[in-house]
Structure 1
Amino acid sequence: MAEPRFMSLPDVALELSVTESQVYHMVRSGELPAIKIGGRGQWRVERVRLEQYIEQKYAETAAWVAENPLVQHDPE
């Protein structure tokens, strides 16, 4: 069976190992694209958008690491 196209915020939180509150903030700030559906306005994140978000975070992290190399100090 194929994975569902859309994920609830609790499912996204589990996938990313973060809190639902953190996912809600990412969605409301526009950091993580999502849609609001249904009469109660439930948020859904498209699985492909989540994968794109993860890839973007890998790229951002790699750039940060390159700009901030780990410097080990030799004990004197």
Structure 2
Amino acid sequence: MASSPSSDAVGRFLTLADTAEILNLTVAEIRGLVDSGELPAIRLGGSWRVERVVLESYIEAKYEESRRMSLWQQSDFANIPELSGGTILRSDH
């Protein structure tokens, strides 16, 4: 059984495979995030690397995005099609 990379074992920079394991995604999905610029990475020695603090910031931002979306969906404004992208996100019925 594979275990998650520990902080001491992988150091400051994570490979895309390490990053994928931490986020429970595929390497291809991580590469897509890097290619789109959503997850900042650098090339070191011909390989893409994600700095540990950058990954931690990315995870925190995703939590904040999720929290804000939850609050938005609970708000009265979520039922106004013009503000919710043309669809009603929740129903009180």
Shorter-chain TM-score bucket reads: 0.7 to 0.9
**Long gaps (5+) in structure 2:** 1-6, 75-88
Match of 1:32?
39
- In the alignment, structure 1 segments of 5+ residues that lack a partner are none
Letter in 2 for 1:6: F
1:55 equivalent to 2:60? Answer yes
**SS in structure 1 opposite 2:50?**
strand
Q: SS at 1:2's partner residue?
A: helix
SS at structure 2 position matched to 1:68: helix
Q: How many residues align?
A: 72
Aligned to 1:68: 73
| TM-score normalised per structure 2 | 0.69
Which structure carries more relative contact order (alpha carbon 8 Å, separation 6+)?
1
Q: Higher Cα Rg: structure 1 or 2?
A: 2
Tell me whether 1:44 sits opposite 2:49 in the alignment: yes
Deviations 1:8-60 (A, max 9, x none): 0000000000111110000111100100121xx21000001000000000000
**Counterpart check, 1:2 vs 2:12:** no
Equivalent residue runs for 1:7-26 within 5 Å? 7-26=14-33
TM-score when normalising by structure 1: 0.83
Mapped to 2, the partners of 1:7 and 1:24 lie a distance apart of 13
CA RMSD of aligned residues (A): 2.0
Read off the aligned partner of 1:2 and give its amino acid letter.
D
Partner Cα separation in structure 2 for residue 36 and residue 28 of structure 1 = 12
